[in-house]
Amino acid sequence: MTEEHPVYRAQFYIQELEKYVTWSEYLAYYKEQDDKIMMFSGYCMHMWASYMNDKIKRQQAPLSYKEYLKKYKNLLEEGYNARPKD
């Protein structure tokens, strides 16, 4: 009954996929993207915490989290993509 309303027939464009989808597909896609970003962010935070726990690094001038991300961006991406999937 409610699906007969025109708003439920609307299509929403996902630029990354270059296609139109329904509202529920649109929400599901971006929720998945948010989950991926949060997982990567958690991975980066864990790696920075390990870096900060290193006694040698603490004696030197340690990098802030933002500096660490900037300096090791490629290495973090490689490590995240190579990790075993759950």
Residues 6 or more apart whose CB falls under 8 angstroms from that of 31 comprise none
The predicted structure's pLDDT at residue 86: 61
Tokens representing 26 are 């649109």
The predicted structure's pLDDT at residue 1: 45
The predicted structure's pLDDT at residue 29: 95
Instruction: With a cut of 70, list the residues of the chain below it in pLDDT.
Output: 1-8, 58, 86
pTM: 0.70
Phi and psi of 14, rounded to 5°?
-105, 110
- Tell me which residue of 5, 1, 36 sits closest to 23, measured CA to CA: 5
